[in-house]
Amino acid sequence: MKVSIEVNGRPVTEEVPDRTLLVHFLRDTAGLTGTNIGCDTTSCGACTVLLDGESVKSCTVLAAQADGHAVTTVEGLAGADGSLHPVQRAFREQHGLQCGFCTPGMIMASVSLLADNPKPTRDEVRAGLEGNLCRCTGYHNIVSAVIDASGQEVDR
């Protein structure tokens, strides 16, 4: 079927098999490989993107379901001049990533979390990111990164 999605502000229209997952549409059709696939049970959150501003796991959304909607991926966060989004900057500053594989999903989930709760506590960040798995960081610095991105002081 023909699917048309606005990806990071750019319309992408393509004929794809009905069963095409949004994550594969993004990676293979739109050519944006920043969104990673970490599991096949919607458990890990590596593929998290924003669909009309809300975070979704793009391995559990059909491209067809996103037809006519807007998707933001990690490639769409930085400014046109290359300036980092506050969440990207904070992940770097707080060492909120190691191998980087969970990072695009973690960053997108954090953007969504902060949109809902601009000044979260550390416990609220942990609860908000429960659906995103990381094997490297033990989550400590990811929590610090979200706190930093929210404009609050990181005290540990």
Partner 1 sequence: MSIVGTRVVRQEDQNLITAGGTYVDDLRAEALSGAAHAVFVRSPIAHARIGGIDVSEAKAAPGVLGVFTAADLGLGPHAAGPVEEPWLAGEVVRYVGEPVALVLTEERYQLADAAELVDVDYEPLDAVASIDAALDGETLLYPETGSNIVQVNGMAEFDDAIFEGCDVVVTQTIANQRVAPAPLEVRGASLAWGEDGRLTAWLSTQNAQIARSQLAGSLGVGEESVRVIAPDVGGGFGAKIGADPEATVLGWAAKRLGRPVRWVESRSENLTSMTHGRAQLNTVTIGGKRDGTVLAYRLDVVQDAGAYPRTLFLPTLTELMAVGVYRFPKVQTRSRAVVTNTTPIAAYRGAGRPEATAAVERAMDLFAAELGLDPADVRRANFIRPEEFPYRTPTGAFYDTGEYAAALDKVLDTAGYAELRAEQRRRREAGDPVELGLGIAAYVEITGGDGGGESGRVDIHPDGSVVAWTGSSPHGQGLGTSLAMLLADRLGVPLEKITVRHGDTDEVPKAIGTFGSRSLQLGGSAIRQAADEVIAQARELAANLLEAAPDDLELDVERGVWQVRGAPSSTVLSWAQVAETATGGKLTADVWFGDGQPTFPFGAHLAVVEVDTETGKVELRRIIAVDDAGPIVNPLTFRGQRHGGLGQGAAQALLEVVTYDEDGNPTTATLADYSFITAVELPDFELVDMATPTDRNLLGVKGIGEAATIGSTPAVHNAVVDALSARGVKHLDMPTTPIRVWAALEETAKGNAQ
**Residue from 6, 28, 65, 117 that binds partner 1 (CB under 8 A)?**
28
CA atoms within 13 A on the CB side of 15: 0
Q: Is 17 exposed, middle or buried (0-12, 13-18, 19+ CB in 10 A)?
A: exposed
Find the part of the chain contacting partner 1 (CB under 8 A) among 3-11, 37-45, 61-69, 111-119. Answer: 37-45
Virtual CA dihedral for 65, 41, 52, 1, nearest 10 degrees? -20
4 belongs to the binding site for partner 1 (CB under 8 A): no
Q: For residues 59 and 144, what is the distance between their CA atoms, to the nearest angstrom?
A: 27
Per-residue interface string for the shown chain with partner 1, residues 109-128, x marking contact by CB under 8 A? -------------x--xxx-
57 belongs to the binding site for partner 1 (CB under 8 A): no
44 belongs to the binding site for partner 1 (CB under 8 A): yes
Q: What does DSSP assign to residue 154?
A: P
Helix or strand holding residue 3 (H, E):
strand 2-7
Interface positions, 65-84, toward partner 1 (CB under 8 A): 73-75, 77-78, 82, 84
Give contact residues for partner 1 (rule: CB under 8 A).
17, 19-20, 24, 27-28, 31, 33-44, 46, 73-75, 77-78, 82, 84, 88, 91-93, 95, 97-104, 107, 122, 125-127, 129-143, 156
